[in-house]
Amino acid sequence: MRIVFAGTPEPAVPSLRRLIESERHEVVAVVTRPDAVAGRGRKVTRSPVGLLADEHGIPVLTPRRPADPEFIEQLTALAPDCCPVVAYGALLPQRVLDIPRFGWINLHFSLLPAWRGAAPVQAAIDAGDEITGASTFQIEAGLDTGPVFGTVTEKIAVTDTAGTLLDRLAVSGAQLLEATLDGVEDGSLQPVPQPTEGVSHAPKVTAEAAHIRWDLPALAISRRIRAVTPAPGAWTEVDGNRLKLGPVEMVEEELPPRTIEVRKTGVFVGTATTAIRLNQVQPQGKRMMSALDWARGARLSADAVVE
Is 304 domain-assigned?
no
Range of the domain at 85: 2-202
139 and 260 inside one domain: no
pLDDT at residue 271, rounded to an integer:
96
54 and 177 inside one domain: yes
Mean pLDDT of the chain: 94
The sheet that has 289-290: what strands, in order across it? Answer: 234-238, 241-245, 280-283, 289-290
**CA separation, residue 179 to residues 22, 69, 134, 151, 265 (Å):** 11, 32, 13, 11, 50
| Three-state DSSP state, 10 | helix
Res 65 pLDDT > 80: yes
CA angle 255–260–264, rounded 5-degree value? 95
180 and 219 inside one domain: no
Identity of the amino acid at 33: R
Annotated binding site for (6S)-5,6,7,8-tetrahydrofolate: 110-113
Is 40 domain-assigned?
yes
Indicate the pLDDT class of residue 303, thresholds 50, 70 and 90. confident
What phi, psi does 166 have (nearest 5°)?
A: -65, -35
129 and 24 inside one domain: yes
86 and 62 inside one domain: yes
170 and 254 inside one domain: no
Is 178 domain-assigned?
yes
- Domain termination site, one of 202, 231, 249: 202
What is the mean pLDDT of the segment spanning 87-107?
95
Q: Indicate the length of the chain as a whole number.
A: 307
Indicate the pLDDT class of residue 141, thresholds 50, 70 and 90. confident
Indicate the pLDDT class of residue 298, thresholds 50, 70 and 90. confident
Burial of residue 162 (number of CB atoms within 10 Å: 0-12, 13-18, 19+) = buried
Res 302 pLDDT > 80: no
Q: What is the pLDDT of residues 237-278, one digit of tens each?
A: 998 889 999 999 999 998 999 999 999 899 999 999 999 999
The predicted model scores a pTM of 0.93
176 and 254 inside one domain: no
What is the mean pLDDT of the segment spanning 117-122?
97
- Preceding peptide of 283 cis, ω within 30°: no
Long-range CB contacts for residues 117-120, cutoff 8 Å, separation at least 24: 117/143, 117/144, 117/201, 117/202, 117/203, 117/204, 118/202, 118/203, 118/204, 119/202, 119/203, 119/204, 119/205, 120/202
Give residues with Cβ within 8 angstroms of 289, minimum separation 6.
280, 281, 282, 283
Q: What is the pLDDT of residues 178-222, one digit of tens each?
A: 999 999 999 999 999 999 999 999 999 999 999 999 999 999 999
Annotated binding site: 110-113
Q: CA 212: distance to chain centroid? A: 19
190 and 246 inside one domain: no
Helix axes 48-55, 13-21, angle to 10 degrees: 20
pLDDT at residue 212, rounded to an integer:
97
pLDDT at residue 195, rounded to an integer:
94
Rounded Cα gap, residues 260 and 268, in angstroms: 6
Rounded Cα gap, residues 67 and 72, in angstroms: 7
10 and 33 inside one domain: yes
Say if residues 235 and 301 touch (Cβ distance below 8 Å). Answer: no
Within 148-272, residue ranges assigned H as helices are: 162-186, 218-227
The residue ranking higher by pLDDT, 295 or 156, is 156
